[in-house]
């Protein structure tokens, strides 16, 4: 680590939601390395405190992203540690399934955590930024850029996050920058919890190598100070999925082919022959 990277965040603070593990923890670790006083927040308060202690963050606190007041409290906590200049809306849930198969509770949770949680975070961050302004980085998904059957509600929330990021970026002062990071599938507990035979999981695995937490966290922190609003990881997958919106009927016909490819990839990861992969719906 160079002294330059250590001093990048000197005197500044940052908030990361959903930071007790996975991508959020990776983001928090990088911010700590750059000298930020980091507030690690998570719905699991004990895990947030443990993570903060392990990575040298300034504070770990419980935060239910569905509660707008909890965001304002986190912003105030960060402000006591240094000037708040970076906020990462990373918390999210990823229930997979066809829209008719998801429970009412799952649909509500997806919308309230992924979308409303991000909107409350944006509002709290923009209101709390000081004279130097700051960056809001929202963890969206490639699923928000095109049709992803098997993830219809999840994809809808991520599409809304991309849209909100672009709109807020255009309406805030120049000193405030808003970004949406759209990664492909990432090796996290969320992905591992998906139904292996489900259509959504198969399509995620159809794109080749699953990204690492480190890759995505690095891309997220790299957006701080940048003028770019939407970034896809990897870039080529972003172009491909956007192209599907130009010919949705063609994309629909290709779904079966991509799903079969993904199921073969899942089977390889499990060490079995491709024919052993569950068929799903």
Instruction: DSSP for 172-240, please give it.
Output: S-TTEEEEEEEE--B-SHHHHTS-TTSHHHHHHGGGSSPBPHHHHHHHHHHTTT---SEEEESHHHHHH
To the query of whether residue 154 is one of the catalytic residues in this protein, the response is yes
Q: Structural domain boundaries of the chain?
A: 3-276
Task: Check residue 9 and give its pLDDT.
Answer: 72
Q: Which two tokens stand for residue 69?
A: 């007041």
Cα–Cα dist 221/106, whole Å:
30
Task: Check residue 2 and give its pLDDT.
Answer: 43
Rg (the chain; Cα; Å): 19
Q: Is 239 left (phi over 0), alpha (psi -120 to 50) or beta?
A: alpha
To the query of whether residue 151 is one of the catalytic residues in this protein, the response is no
Of the listed 154, 201, 206, 217, which one is catalytic? 154
- pLDDT tens per residue across all 281 residues of the chain: 444 555 677 799 999 999 999 999 999 999 999 999 999 999 999 999 999 999 999 999 999 999 999 999 999 999 999 999 999 999 999 888 899 999 999 999 999 999 999 999 999 999 999 999 999 999 999 989 988 888 899 999 999 999 999 999 999 988 999 999 999 866 555 655 556 555 555 555 455 677 899 999 999 999 999 999 999 998 766 666 666 665 555 455 545 544 444 444 445 565 644 333 322 22
pTM for this predicted structure: 0.81
Of the listed 158, 177, 205, 231, which one is catalytic? 158
Query: Alpha helix (H) ranges present in the chain?
Result: 3-7, 22-33, 45-55, 68-81, 104-109, 117-128, 152-171, 189-192, 199-204, 213-222, 235-244, 248-270
Cα–Cα dist 102/97, whole Å:
6
217-221: list long-range contacts, CB under 8 Å, 24+ apart: 217/23, 217/26, 217/27, 217/29, 217/30, 218/26, 218/30, 219/181, 219/183, 220/23, 220/27, 220/88, 220/90, 220/137, 220/139, 220/181, 221/27, 221/30, 221/31, 221/34, 221/137
Residue where the block lists tokens 């068929």: 279
Task: Check residue 138 and give its pLDDT.
Answer: 98
Task: Please tell me the CATH code under which domain 3-276 is placed.
Answer: 3.40.50.720
The upper half-sphere exposure of residue 265, i.e. CA atoms within 13 Å in the direction of its Cβ, equals 17
């Amino acid at each position: 680590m160079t002294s330059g990277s250590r001093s990048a965040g000197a005197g500044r603070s940052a908030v990361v939601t959903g930071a007790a593990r996975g991508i959020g923890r990776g983001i928090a670790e990088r911010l700590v390395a750059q000298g930020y006083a980091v507030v690690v927040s998570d719905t699991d308060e004990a895990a947030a405190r443990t993570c903060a202690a392990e990575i040298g963050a300034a504070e770990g606190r419980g935060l239910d992203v569905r509660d707008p007041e909890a965001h304002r409290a986190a912003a105030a906590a960060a402000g006591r540690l240094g000037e708040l200049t970076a906020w990462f809306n990373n918390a999210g849930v990823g229930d997979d399934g066809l829209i008719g198969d998801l429970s009412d509770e799952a649909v509500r949770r997806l919308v309230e955590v992924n979308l409303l949680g991000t909107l409350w975070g944006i509002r709290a961050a923009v209101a709390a930024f000081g004279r130097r302004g700051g960056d809001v980085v929202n963890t969206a998904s490639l699923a928000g850029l095109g049709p992803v059957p098997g993830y219809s509600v999840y994809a809808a929330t991520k599409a809304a996050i991309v849209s909100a990021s672009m709109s807020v970026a255009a309406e805030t002062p120049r000193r405030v920058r808003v970004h949406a990071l759209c990664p492909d599938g990432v090796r996290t507990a969320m992905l591992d919890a998906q139904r292996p035979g489900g259509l959504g999981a198969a399509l995620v695995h159809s794109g080749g190598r699953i990204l690492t937490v480190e890759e995505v966290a690095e891309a997220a922190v790299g957006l701080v100070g940048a003028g770019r609003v939407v970034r896809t990881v990897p870039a080529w997958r972003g172009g491909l999925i956007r192209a599907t919106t130009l010919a949705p009927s063609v994309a629909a016909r290709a779904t079966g082919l991509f799903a079969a490819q993904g199921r073969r990839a899942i089977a390889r990861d499990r060490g079995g022959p491709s024919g052993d992969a569950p068929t799903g719906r």
